[in-house]
Amino acid sequence: MPTVRIFLLTYRRTHLLRRAINSLLQQTFRDWVCELHNDAPDDMTPNGIVTTINDPRITLHQHTTNWGPVRCFNHAFADGPEEYASILEDDNWWEPTFLETAITAARAEPLANVVWSNMKIWQEYAEDNWSDTGQTVWNVSTQMQPRLFFWPEPLQMTNAIHSNGAMVFRRKDSVQVPPRTPFAIIEPVRERLMLGGWLLLPQPLAHFAMTLATARSNDRADWVQSQLLVAASYLTSTSPTSATLDQIWAHQRSLNPPGTNLLFLLGISGLYTRAILRAAKITEWARFMASTIRHPIIFIRALRFRSDHHDLWKTLQVAAAQRTHEAQTKGSVTPTLYSKTLSSKRE
């Protein structure tokens, strides 16, 4: 039985797929099998690539219907016989030692159900030109020891801690998100459902692509609702202290553009209104009011985030409360708000 099953997901990006496959073939850890899932039923190009490579560890799964990204990811998180699994999206790629380092770390840390590495951030331009931004997803020293995170971390209010494109997870503890989960929040929703801890390897052993095309919705109101769902489930389950809320405000202010409007929407929707809004500055109030006047439809839909996603909201409430109960029962690490450059391709 192989140690790890790789789920390589692709959709009409042949020029990127070859790079991802090459990074898999160059791994120093060789005990893997790979399911290459082509979610474009009429695109036969990946079949030609797999035939040319002729590596028996790689099998092509040509979808006869378009699954969509959430179903593809849920398939990867189904239970299976291998000890570990990993997801490699066609637009990302790995350093040769990624699998070896991540699996070694997972074996050394039994409390971590997910191990993932820092990632270098690349920007795509026209005609398959790429630029190294010089940034990494996590602004941490590569000399830092691996950091084990437990729920609830302040960053988890609006962000995911782990990254889809640079993780290894234990198959026996994997979970699937509700089928109607917006793809933009698939990672933070998973963190509310999955038991255990998440281990960050500070070395950038993978590459994150800021692509010109993305599977994420272009509907701004849908994006705001998604952010509110994960933020509200964090607030209602953790009852954050004033110090934690101050950390959250500081983080939202540090984003470009600032993310403080989300906190106003949470307060206005009736969640910890006084506690959240007490830290708001006059200039931030003015920015929020101006945004509301310019985009009244987004504002109205934002306040309907619970009713528009009723089933998902209930699932998140229950799951986040369970994670908080576990943390209170077992005792958790003191939350520390690490600096994360970005949480998704939408940002």
Can you give the residue ranges of every domain in the chain?
4-210, 220-308
Query: Who wins on pLDDT, 251 or 33?
Result: 33
pLDDT band at 10 (very low <50, low <70, confident <90, very high): very high
Q: Phi/psi of residue 101, each to 5°?
A: -65, -45
* Angstrom distance (rounded) from CA 234 to CA 316: 9
**Per-residue confidence (pLDDT) for residue 11, from 0 to 100:** 94
Residue 305: closest CA among 216, 251, 236: 236
User: Partners of 131 in the beta sheet?
Assistant: 123
pLDDT band at 331 (very low <50, low <70, confident <90, very high): low
Which residues, other chains included, contact 139 with Cβ-Cβ below 8 Å and sequence gap of 6+?
338, 339, 340, 341
Residue 333 clears pLDDT 60, i.e. is over it: no
pLDDT in tens, 89-141: 999 999 999 999 999 999 999 999 999 999 999 998 988 889 999 999 998 88
Strands 58-62 and 32-38: parallel
pLDDT in tens, 51-94: 999 999 999 999 999 999 999 999 999 989 999 999 999 999 99
Highest mean pLDDT pick, 128-137, 144-153, 238-247, 303-312 = 303-312
**Per-residue confidence (pLDDT) for residue 334, from 0 to 100:** 43
**Per-residue confidence (pLDDT) for residue 345, from 0 to 100:** 36
3-state SS, one letter per residue, for the chain:
CCCEEEEEEECCCHHHHHHHHHHHHCCCCCCEEEEEEECCCCCCHHHHHHHHHCCCCEEEEECCCCCCHHHHHHHHCCCCCCCEEEEEECCCEECCCHHHHHHHHHHHCCCEEEEEEEEEEEEEEHHHEEEEEEEECECCCCCCCCEEECCCCHHHHCCCCCCHHHEEEEHHHCCCCCCCCCHHHHHHHHHHHCCCEEEEEEEEEEEEEECCCCCCCCCHHHHHHHHHHHHHHHHHHHCCCHHHHHHHHHHHHHCCCCCHHHHHHHHHCCCCHHHHHCCCCHHHHHHHHHHHHHCHHHHHHHCCHHHHCHHHHHHHHHHHHHHHHHHHHHCCCCCCCCCECCCCCCC
* Angstrom distance (rounded) from CA 281 to CA 273: 15
pLDDT band at 342 (very low <50, low <70, confident <90, very high): very low
Full-model pTM: 0.90
Q: Phi/psi of residue 64, each to 5°?
A: -85, -20
Residue 113: closest CA among 150, 66, 68: 150
Residue 307 clears pLDDT 60, i.e. is over it: yes
**What integer best gives the mean pLDDT of the chain?**
90
pLDDT band at 219 (very low <50, low <70, confident <90, very high): confident
* Angstrom distance (rounded) from CA 343 to CA 296: 26
Q: Long-range contact list for 241-244, CB < 8 A, 24+ apart?
A: 242/275, 244/154, 244/335
Which residues, other chains included, contact 158 with Cβ-Cβ below 8 Å and sequence gap of 6+?
188, 227, 230, 231, 234, 248, 251, 252, 259, 262, 343
CATH superfamily placement of domain 4-210: Spore Coat Polysaccharide Biosynthesis Protein SpsA; Chain A (3.90.550.10)
* Angstrom distance (rounded) from CA 188 to CA 177: 10
pLDDT band at 336 (very low <50, low <70, confident <90, very high): very low
Would you say 128 and 300 are in contact if contact means Cβ atoms under 8 Å apart? no
Would you say 250 and 285 are in contact if contact means Cβ atoms under 8 Å apart? no
* Angstrom distance (rounded) from CA 24 to CA 225: 36
Sign of CA dihedral 233, 234, 240, 242: negative
